[in-house]
Amino acid sequence: KAGVTQTPRYLIKTRGQQVTLSCSPISGHRSVSWYQQTPGQGLQFLFEYFSETQRNKGNFPGRFSGRQFSNSRSEMNVSTLELGDSALYLCASSLDGTNGSPLHFGNGTRLTVT
């Protein structure tokens, strides 16, 4: 079974621009979560989607948004990029997003904002 696939692997953007990251979950998984990983803050939860609905949201500004499609694929968008948005963005999928359903991560998208 293919794992979680994230595209692109690397992105370089300029301050003020916007970016869209893509995630394809493991086949059969209906929950997709997004995390930001930085050396200083570690892994922090952004949001979780299930059946095209955002069920949970972390403590990030509104510039960070996401959506999920009917095939469970998900996208994350960051608008008006800031230098501090430079990070590894990780997508994780699980069967249904409940506690009994462990998360499996992709290899991430490395975003650099200059």
Minimum distance from CB of 27 to another protein (Å)? 17
Contacts of 45 (CB under 8 A, 6+ apart): 33, 34, 35, 56, 58
CB closer to another protein, 34 vs 113? 34
Select 18 or 27, whichever has its Cβ closest to another protein: 27
What count of Cα atoms within 13 Å lies in the side-chain half-sphere of residue 89?
33
What single letter denotes the amino acid at residue 26?
I
Structure tokens at 111: 């975003």
> What residue ranges bind another protein (CB under 8 A)?
4, 6, 31, 33, 35, 42-45, 48, 50, 55-56, 58, 90, 94, 96-108
Nearer to another protein, 6 or 24 (CB): 6
> Tokens 């370089």 correspond to what residue?
12
Give me the least distance between CB of 92 and another protein, in Å please: 8
Which residue lies nearer to another protein by CB, 97 or 113? Answer: 97
Q: Report, in Å, the least distance between residue 56 CB and another protein.
A: 5
Q: What is the smallest separation between the CB atom of 84 and another protein, expressed in angstroms?
A: 18
